[in-house]
Amino acid sequence: MLRHLVGPGVIAIFIAVAVAFPEAQQPRKPAAALKHVTGWIKTSSYVPPKTPWGDPDIQGGYSNVNENGIPFEKPGNLSNQVGEVDDSELAELNKERNERALASAAGIGGRETGAGPVHWYEHYNVDNSRGWMVVDPPDGHIPMQTAAAQQRLGRGGRGAAGPAPAAAAGAAGAAGRAGAAPAAGRGGFNEGGRADSWLDRSLYDRCITRGMPGSMMPAIYGNAYDITQAPGIVAIRYEMVHETRVIHLDNSPLSGQRSHMGDARGHWEGNTLVVETTNFDPRSAYRNGSSKMKLTERFVPTSAGIVEWSMTVDDPETWVRPWTFAMRLTADPDQPLFEYACHEGNYAMRNILSAARAEEARAAGQK
């Protein structure tokens, strides 16, 4: 994927850095006995090592597998909770969430086909870092939509339906209290619905993209990512769908072209990597955001091998105020990116379409 996004010169830089500075590529194991997270972490007193060119060094292999099962918004059964949960409360929540994930295993691949053995999946026996993901507003809920957004999207309430992959793990990932989903197909993220053509299926069904921030979110497998740094550049590769984001650390002009992953520019604020992304393709814009949507990420290293990640969604045409959600990235040198080969193994698309034709033929024969 990288070859489609950057030129040979940038690739040469990446190779040169990896060869010339192998110490910058060494994975770092996370600190033991990490406590749960309280609130929105914007900075940290931890000082990470430096790259040979002087940037904070956060590169290496990471996983968000332990964030599986975290509700996106504050759950209703915790509505009376003042502040975040404490360690003992989170331990009990983790136990309940893991039991629920295991109990629902048979339905992952559909009741008729079965889901395969548990070891095929990564979202069991996880150790969540927090009680819920939304950290701002402080009530743990996505703000209300603007009147213009309710008119544009044809529905009201909090949030808006968006990329489904993050919720596929039973994590409630990007779903939250999302309200009704728009009609499926024709390039969107929504699963199910019509199967008259491959164009009726979601971008995820078709192995095209999980979008942004969908690619950052935990799922039932494929939770590894790789962060690679070079002078003036940070690249993030994702295992699932195997997309690559190339983030330029300068003030170079944006391309003006809209894409599924947007157009990103980053900079360092002390030891925190801040990335602002705009220019999203409307077919994959997060939660049906408008053309003015800006996503701001903060990668805050808090200890060796731990990065606290947050994303602020700012779209004045869709929500009445900006809002932020967060999760933890944990270094995992034993989990290198595995080839996803989505198109090569995408029997689901062929089978969905052929099954729809078989259903049509059966219905025609009954007339």
pLDDT in tens, 212-257: 999 999 988 888 999 999 999 999 999 988 889 999 998 888 888 8
Q: Residue 343 — very low, low, confident or very high, per pLDDT cuts 50/70/90? A: confident
Bridge partners, residue 269, by sequence: 272
The Cα angle at residue 308 between residues 324 and 52, in degrees rounded to 5: 125
pTM of the model: 0.79
DSSP symbols for 173-224: TTTSS--SPPPP-TT-S--SS--SSGGGS-TTTTTS---TTGGGS--SS--E
Do the Cβ atoms of 65 and 126 come closer than 8 Å? yes
Mean pLDDT of 30-37: 53
Check residue 222 and give its pLDDT: 86
For 190, 194, 354, the CA distances from 357, given in Å and listed in that order, are 21, 11, 5
Residue 54 pLDDT exceeds 90: yes
DSSP 245: E
Residue 173 pLDDT exceeds 90: no
HSE-up of 284 (CA within 13 Å, CB side)?
A: 22
